Structure 1
Amino acid sequence: MNFPKLQIQTTKAQIGLNIQQPIQKIEQPKADLDLQQPKAKLTIETSKSKLTIDSFQAREDLEMKNTRSRTAEITQKAMQESLEGVARRAQEGNDLMRIENGGNPIVEHAKRWGQQTYTSLGIKFTPQAGSVKINFDPAKLDINVEPQKVINNTKINKPIHQYTPGSVDVEMLQKPSIKIDWII
């Protein structure tokens, strides 16, 4: 016995795709650089240093006296010697006036006048240590620096962006189909 058969025939659909890739270009131009650095303002102020040397005492010790000191010293010495001379002469006059008291005042006076007085040798270091006075005032230095700000006129350039979008075209290359038949 023959049974009827069902025969089915199918054709698959075929799709074709046409793809255009997107195109993208990006460029970044360099920035226009404009930087300026002004010079800093610098001021320097100084005061002079001062050195004072007082050698008055050292010059006095070396017998290099000024006229005022020399005159005062000679005046003082002359007054002292004249007072001593007056006192000596008054004493000698008193001795001679009292000759009746005994003794021989004329011989004693002659011995005194005839004797040379001896002086000791005194070693003296001149000028004395510390007789030169030195004073130093150092200079004062004042430095002022005023920095200046940077002048920045830099210009940033925007990126150049070109974009072409892609596309997809779909087409039917083969349509689907189905065929059904009975075979007896």
Structure 2
Amino acid sequence: MNGDGTTAAIILAAGSSSRMGGGRHKLLLPLDERPVLAHVIDAALASRARPVVVVLGHRAGQVRAEVAAYLEQPGIIVVENPDYLQGMSTSMRVGLATLVEGTSHGVGQRERSQAGVDSALIMLGDQPLITAQVIDALISAWRTSGRRIVAALYGGKRGNPTLFAASLFGELMEVTGDEGGRRVLERHR
């Protein structure tokens, strides 16, 4: 059994959408008349995860404007990753630092350290079909399993979102490049 603290959700929404072409921002593409990122934020807000940290980067001002109504909800912390071009790991580190150190990374809001957070669910901003039920199932599985990591499975393969115990935040803060928490996950299978 894992602790009875809270699980934070960190939504990585800083990428440059470089594979999209045409100057389009993948997270702002409409799906059911709302931006893709809005669906992910809604799922996180409808789940037990708190706080929900949204890490912006590429075109942060545009993204913030397009999903402003979602970012103003209670339980949301919005931070910007100035180093997003250096890979997904930088966004993960900014999100974790927000939980651990209470840093705001220059977006004008300063949050206190998130006392009571004992785990973090790393989510991707471009997974609009994720549901609150999936998020809550991962949180429940982590709480009852005693494992340090719980990951979603798709077709028998591990994927995102992935939930990490706070005891692994230090290792996650050392990850570099565009791999996210994959190495930490592999190290602690």
TM-score if structure 2 supplies the norm length?
0.16
- Whose Rg is larger? 1
TM-score (norm: length of structure 1) = 0.16
